[in-house]
Amino acid sequence: MKYEDIDGYVTSWDAFINYPIKKVNKSVFLGKMQLIARSFVDLEDSYNQKVYGLENNFFWNTTLANQDKWIVWGQAGLFSDFVDISEKDIRYSIGFHYLDYWHDRLKTGYGIGYSRQFYGHQINPFLSIDYRINPKLKLTGMLPVRPKLTYQMTENWSWSNEFYGNVDTFRLSETEYENSFIRINNWYYLSKIEYLLKKHHLFTIGVGFDFAHNLKFYNDSNAGTITLFTFDLNEAVKPVSELKTRGFKFQVSYRFIL
């Protein structure tokens, strides 16, 4: 991450578990518990933080008679430095997704997500696609924030390329920072190789580039800035400071699939 004379970096790790809740006819209720951690190093003092997120996600998925699907989700969790946890550390999201089944090779859809961020409100309308172009090539994801193109090289090896845009906010300690918070806007490209071992163990290694990895530091505020994807439509609250960085990205992951 480079900004003027700053040459820092961020380390991230995520751990999650998906779990079934209930199935009723063609409706399925699912859950996902996730723990995330971000560590910012060698930046300006106020940004050199270790922050965490502990969240629970719920999904309701129902298949209609014509094979179309309705998907509704909700998520809530704590997002802070976990120094002195309070209700001010809570963020939540809700949304829906309608998936239109055309044939076995093509599904399209639309939806919208809403997230209550510490600076205000984030709105994410999207179009979705799941298109198997040929037996080896597949285009999936949500447009415009997360399109993904995957090439299935063999039964076990695949190569994918994706773009991703996201906003995160993390509350800081009330004692030391008076409930200030950090906002992270990022857009990146990632190319990765995946290997599936014995149908259950998925190993991934990827490299990419953060085109925009912007950090903003805010004093505690309940003002209602509205964001479309990662772009502010208004500026009800202004940051105390801002770092506009970019840099290379490296990712390694493991996933166990039941």
Give, in order, the Cα–Cα distances in Å from 8 to each of 5, 41, 188, 191, 208.
10, 6, 17, 22, 17
In the chain the domains, ranked by start, together with CATH numbers, are 2-256 (2.40.160)
Residue 10, both tokens: 């961020």
Residue 47 has pLDDT above 70, yes or no: yes
Q: Is residue 222 very low, low, confident or very high in pLDDT (cuts 50, 70, 90)?
A: confident
pLDDT digit string, tens, across residues 88-135: 999 999 999 999 999 999 999 999 999 999 999 999 999 999 999 999
Is residue 62 within 8 Å of residue 155, measured between CB atoms?
A: no
Beta strands in 64-180 (DSSP E): 69-80, 90-103, 106-117, 120-132, 137-143, 146-152, 157-171
Closest Cα to residue 38, out of 7, 3, 71, 81?
Answer: 81
What is the per-residue pLDDT for 236?
87
**pTM for this model (two decimals):** 0.93
Residue 149 has pLDDT above 90, yes or no: yes
What is the per-residue pLDDT for 42?
86
What is the per-residue pLDDT for 221?
82
Phi, psi of 174 (to 5 degrees): -65, -40
